[in-house]
Amino acid sequence: MPHIQTTDNESQTDDHQHEKLVQMNNKLKRALQTFKDKIHRVVNERPDLFDAIGEETSERLDHLISTVENQATKVNKLQAVLDQADEKYQGQIKNLQR
């Protein structure tokens, strides 16, 4: 009588789920390494941006995010000043044209 191998469906499902988790974990590791590499590149190219910041990647990322947020706030303020100046000078131009 030939030996017939049977596979438990639960075992197949567990193996499939495990393989999916391993693949997802590998993708996440590659993405994390990409972030680390890019932050490291910025640190090497612009060390002045990281004075008194530790070497921990998360500290550097937090610092970069904070810097970008501060710059966005400054840009918004400058845009408001520019808009006010533009309105003022447009008004002066209209007055001069009369």
**Per-residue pLDDT tens digits for 27-53:** 999 999 999 999 999 999 999 988 889
**Strand residue runs (E) in 38-93:** none
Per the structure, the complete domain to which residue 66 belongs is given by 56-98
* Number of folded domains that form the chain: 2
Which pLDDT score, from 0 to 100, does residue 68 have? 94
Mean pLDDT of the chain: 89
Contact 39, 57 (CB under 8 A): yes
Per-residue pLDDT band for 1 (boundaries 50, 70, 90) equals: low
pLDDT higher than 60, residue 92: yes
**Model confidence, pTM:** 0.62
The three-state (H, E, C) secondary structure of 32-51, written as one string: HHHHHHHHHHHHHHCHHHHC
Same domain, 28 and 62: no
Q: Is residue 20 part of a domain?
A: yes
CA 70 to chain centre: 16
Q: Please report whether residue 69 resides in a domain.
A: yes
Question: For the chain, what percent of residues have pLDDT higher than 70?
Answer: 89
- pLDDT tops 60 at residue 7: no
Query: According to the model, what pLDDT value does residue 15 have?
Result: 86
